[in-house]
Structure 1
Amino acid sequence: MWLACRALLQPDPATGAAKLRLRVDHACAVQLSSPNMGTSSSGATVIESKKSMKARGVSSPDRADGALMAVYEPEDLFGHRRMGLIN
């Protein structure tokens, strides 16, 4: 989720506009920039865990998680489209 939203927030080189723009307060903006990115042993890009952030003395990014969850829509693994049905 963090990597997907990060890609949406990056400006397009051709137009300079991002696909997504978040209007958040200062505390949320700080939390959005607090986790570090790295690579796993298999070469995949990973976001720093909350446990390692706590070890660094950084608080849990709860507000940032909330902002990202507000715009996150997971991909349906089975390809079903439910056309407006609410569970």
Structure 2
Amino acid sequence: MGSCFTRNGRLVWNGSPFVTGHFYGTGDLFSALMTGYLVFGMTFESAVQRAVSGTYEAVSQTAQLASNRRKYGLNLTKTLNAVTKFTLGQKRGEF
């Protein structure tokens, strides 16, 4: 899973290792993370990298569940923890 965009007329790919399966909510999570990081003033490329990383974290956590439990959505525990630390760090000027 990943994201591709153009920079100076060239394609840039930000990806993560492949995780087998179908995971509901990945697009929603990716767009929410991207929007949040951009609102905090992060560069587009950095926001993409963090959004891919956060989405991958949620997918890899969810992949550990039985396939019939994945339909209930992504396991966001680690992703939300990372977002909270980032947000608090922004308010303190740490990032």
TM range (shorter): 0.3 to 0.5
For the pair shown, the structure with the greater C-alpha radius of gyration is: 1
**TM-score normalised by structure 1 residue count:** 0.32
Higher strand share: 2
Higher helix share: 2
**TM-score normalised by structure 2 residue count:** 0.31
